[in-house]
Structure 1
Amino acid sequence: MSSFEKEGSPTESDFAQFNFDKLEKELEATAAAEKQYWLENDAKIRAVKQGVPTYDHFREMVMGAHLKPLEKGEKVDQAFTRSRNQPWNTHASNFPNSEAADKKDLTCTALSSSAENLPSNHAAFTLQWKRCGNDSNLKYHFLLRYPKEGNISLSQVFKTDLPSGIFADCCSVLNDLFTVGDEENVITVLEHLSTSKRFKLTIDFLSKGEKAVLYSLFSKFSSVNSELKQVYRVAQSV
């Protein structure tokens, strides 16, 4: 063993077995999620400054944040061709082609017993959340890993911002799959989400249907802090 090789250090065989293609795809997907986040964040700020009349207008601005305006001298049909070649979901285009392999990797990340696999920032969380697709059960257990393991909190993940779409989806999943035995952890999730700097703005732009989900969720708790009800604006309805 050379002076540069120590016990426990990676060997050539370790690197040979490492999946660099997978790592590259994950990095590209994370970078795409981060870019999309800032585009949506800028769109939110513009929407508020412009005083959009309804939530639908606000959502349309955010959802179309990645679209580019017509360039000088460009015709509508050219713009259509350009936009058609640009995926609406910028995150999905970076995923591996193998759905089965993706599902296996995601399950390992979302349900792994290792706390090191939990995303610690909003971009990584959003990436994993979107990869769950329509699997509400997977999303539910993914969320509850944060309060159960305690090494990383959702307060840290969404410290600077809480995308309204992700927030509404989280509440919907918690409402649909809530069980009495999980009450303490579910309330902890809600408490941590409410610490985001943009939480009040997120609540402001919830639709009537999304607010109804909050009312339904809070009505299932045997006991909950009245202050948390006020923060979520459900104090008068629960």
Structure 2
Amino acid sequence: MSGDPGATAGRTILRALHQRVPSYEDFRNIVLASHLKPLDKKDKMGERRNVLWNPCAARGKAPQASDVEIPQELDQLPRTSAEFYRDWRRCLKSGKDKYQLLLKLGGEALGRIFQADLGFGLLGEFLVVLAENVCREDRDAVLQILRSLSGTKRFGLNVDLLSEPERESSRGLFGKLQRASGDGRTFPVGCGTDGETHLTNTSLQKETEERMLMELMKSYRVN
């Protein structure tokens, strides 16, 4: 049997359809379970230790070091979809830890990990985590994550299968991203030619970001 997560999810979806599961939640639970694998000795939760992992810390005017307790397994970031499923499901328990994992990986790495397929149910979980934890400083990083996810295979199907609470989180997330666009980054600096050039560049950057945001809202079917 193939170990490819995408193939496994496809077989599971077909099996769930043939079984005529009574509700969406039953269907969802069957497919989510398809990504779980038996625990190995190396997967046992061992000692936990504090690791400095705060992607927002360096952006403030007076950054403060923050120790975030994460499982020892995450000293090495996941490189494959199988490793990601393992860490996401078994190791990370809080939404904050999951949010930091998404930021730490970034849009480029997430797009590479899920290039073949984004496992059923993960898109909705990502949207919920991002909506609950996004901050203004992370706006660009979150936009890149959303853009990369929208390029994965069967993205449209994953959007179709979002639950209503997940759709609500998606609307809330894009609402926050829209409000974060008025963060003052387009204020002119200096005067004369240099100041005008800076204003022009930042205006073009803002226009590009806003265009990307509108395209993403269309992809995620956010009205």
1:173-216 superposed Cα distances (whole Å, 9 cap, x missing partner): 11111100100000100110111111111111111111101000
Q: What is the CA–CA distance in structure 2 between the aligned matches of 1:195 and 1:214, rounded to whole Å?
A: 17
Q: What is the CA–CA distance in structure 1 between the aligned matches of 2:119 and 2:214, rounded to whole Å?
A: 25
Verify the 8 A CA contact 1:158 1:196 in the aligned structure 2: yes
Where do 1:175-186 residues align within 5 Å?
A: 175-186=131-142
2:167 equivalent to 1:198: no
Amino acid at match of 2:10: N
Shift of 1:45: 3.7
Q: 189, 214, 219: which one pairs with 1:226?
A: 214
Shift of 1:126: 1.4
Amino acid at match of 1:203: V
2:10 equivalent to 1:41: yes
Tell me, which stretches of 5 or more residues in structure 2 are unaligned? 50-68, 182-209
Where do 1:37-186 residues align within 5 Å?
A: 38-47=7-16, 55-63=24-32, 65=34, 90-92=37-39, 95-100=43-48, 103-109=70-76, 118-147=77-106, 152-186=108-142
1:2-48 superposed Cα distances (whole Å, 9 cap, x missing partner): xxxxxxxxxxxxxxxxxxxxxxxxxxxxxxxx577643331124446
- Percent of aligned positions that are identical: 31
The answer to which of 126-135 and 186-195 deviates more is: 126-135
> Structure 1 length normalisation: TM-score?
0.60
Distance 1:153 1:181, change over 3 A: same
Shift of 1:98: 2.4
Shift of 1:165: 2.4
Rg larger in 1 or in 2?
1
Q: What is the CA–CA distance in structure 2 between the aligned matches of 1:154 and 1:36, rounded to whole Å?
A: 15
Verify the 8 A CA contact 1:155 1:193 in the aligned structure 2: yes
What secondary structure does 1:62 align onto?
helix
Distance 1:202 1:189, change over 3 A: same
Distance 1:57 1:138, change over 3 A: closer
User: More strand per residue: 1 or 2?
Assistant: 2
Verify the 8 A CA contact 2:103 2:141 in the aligned structure 1: yes
Query: Which residue of structure 2 aligns with residue 81 of structure 1?
Result: none
Verify the 8 A CA contact 1:132 1:138 in the aligned structure 2: no
What secondary structure does 2:153 align onto?
coil
Distance 1:49 1:197, change over 3 A: farther
Q: What is the CA–CA distance in structure 1 between the aligned matches of 2:168 and 2:25, rounded to whole Å?
A: 17
Verify the 8 A CA contact 2:6 2:117 in the aligned structure 1: no
Amino acid at match of 1:98: G
Shift of 1:96: 1.7
Alignment length, in residue pairs?
169
Verify the 8 A CA contact 1:136 1:173 in the aligned structure 2: yes
Distance 1:136 1:54, change over 3 A: same
Distance 1:57 1:216, change over 3 A: same
Distance 1:189 1:51, change over 3 A: farther
Distance 1:203 1:35, change over 3 A: same
Amino acid at match of 1:198: R
Tell me, which stretches of 5 or more residues in structure 1 are unaligned? 1-33, 67-88, 110-117
Shift of 1:53: 7.5
Amino acid at match of 1:231: S
